[in-house]
């Protein structure tokens, strides 16, 4: 089995990061994660890079807003190169673009931006929630977006929880975008009526199938994320997910 490194999306521990960003990074390193995915820039790129280097963490990528990625290419290219991120990812599509024409435009605009980023060795990805799985004339907005984009310059960051929440199979979607899906958000769903977020391995997602699909699809990073926690701290949840991944032979 190809060993794919495991990172933590910093949004998972956002409260800890807001209170003490360097301390939050230290906690991630102490758990054993190989890297982090940044949720914007809480410090200067130079300070983030120094902290990552000091802790032995890599930057799997960084999330930014759609408008930032399209309109602040020079700034984000410099930031991405400084922190050592390989991928710049659009965290979500603005609400006013969540229609058929908006998805088409997003695919085209993110691809044009992606071509610019690619000249500097950076890739552009799009991260899904479940709203992209609304149909327009029988086709999901998600698929409209990627069909409208250039596969060379627009990649997918598939979020397993949100694909499952939309009623689709995460492993199947990873296979569908094989070769175009370098980053995968590893996120689990509890077996309850609210579809609550769960630590990886403590929910209902079929991770055997997901990891098999990731292996075949050429995924470069597994990125653990948990949006909400219930009666536990975010760091405890991040630790449980990592320990479960170790038991699965993944981390």
DSSP state letters, 86-143 = SEEEE----GGG-SHHHHHHHHHHHHHHHHHHHTTT-EEEEE--SGGG-EETTEEHHH
Question: Which domains, from first to last, does the chain contain?
Answer: 6-247 (3.20.20.150)
Contacts of 195 (CB under 8 A, 6+ apart): 165, 189
- Per-residue pLDDT of the chain (251 residues), as tens digits, is 668 999 999 999 999 999 999 999 999 999 999 999 999 999 999 999 999 999 999 999 999 999 999 999 999 999 999 999 999 999 999 999 999 999 999 999 999 999 999 999 999 999 999 999 999 999 999 999 999 999 999 999 999 999 999 999 999 999 999 999 999 999 999 999 999 999 999 999 999 999 999 999 999 999 999 999 998 999 999 999 999 999 999 99
pLDDT of the residue at 1? 61
pLDDT of the residue at 47? 98
pLDDT of the residue at 231? 87
């Amino acid at each position: 089995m190809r060993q794919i490194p495991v990172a933590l999306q910093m949004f998972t521990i956002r409260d800890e990061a807001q209170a003490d960003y360097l301390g939050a990074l230290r906690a991630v390193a102490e758990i054993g994660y190989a890297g982090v995915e940044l949720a914007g820039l809480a410090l200067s790129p130079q300070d983030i890079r120094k902290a990552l280097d000091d802790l032995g963490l890599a930057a799997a990528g960084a999330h930014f807003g759609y408008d930032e990625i399209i309109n602040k290419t020079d700034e984000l290219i410099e930031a991405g190169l400084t922190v050592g991120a390989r991928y710049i990812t659009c965290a979500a599509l603005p609400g006013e673009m969540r229609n058929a024409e908006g998805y088409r435009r997003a695919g085209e605009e993110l691809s044009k931006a992606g071509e610019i980023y690619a000249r500097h060795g950076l890739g552009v990805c799009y991260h899904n929630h479940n709203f992209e799985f609304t149909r327009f004339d029988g086709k999901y907005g998600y698929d409209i977006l990627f069909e409208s984009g250039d596969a060379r310059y627009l990649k997918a960051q598939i979020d397993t929880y949100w694909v499952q929440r939309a009623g689709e199979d995460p492993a199947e979607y990873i296979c569908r975008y094989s070769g175009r899906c370098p980053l995968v958000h590893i996120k689990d769903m509890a077996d309850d009526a609210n579809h609550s977020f769960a630590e990886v391995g403590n929910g209902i997602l079929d991770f055997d199938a997901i990891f098999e699909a990731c292996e075949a699809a050429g995924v470069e990073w597994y990125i653990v994320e948990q949006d909400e926690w219930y009666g536990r701290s975010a760091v405890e949840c991040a630790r449980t997910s990592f320990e479960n991944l170790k038991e699965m032979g993944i981390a």
